[in-house]
Amino acid sequence: MTNQNEQPVGTDPCVCVECGQQYSIEELRSSNAHYFDAPHHYDRGCERYCLSCWLGVGSLDIARDP
């Protein structure tokens, strides 16, 4: 049987409370590891906010990043 109350930490996709986008902390940890450290400290918000919202730029700003 699968345990319904205890989900494995770090493997399930998170949903951003700001924009509702799904994201994977594990993926971000491997591809954007530097954001988890100073000065961004995304490790403090990675469970609730996607990286875009945490950085406060939004996907539009990322899309037109030079």
In the complex, which residues of this chain contact Zn ion (CB under 5 A)? 16, 18-19, 21, 50, 53
Nearer to Zn ion, 46 or 53 (CB): 53
Tokens of 29: 């940890």
Q: Where are the beta strands (DSSP E) in the chain?
A: 14-15, 22-23
Smallest separation (angstroms) from Zn ion to the CB of 32: 14
3-state secondary structure of 39: coil
Nearer to Zn ion, 1 or 35 (CB): 35
Q: Count other C-beta atoms under 10 Å from residue 48's C-beta.
A: 13
Nearer to Zn ion, 18 or 26 (CB): 18
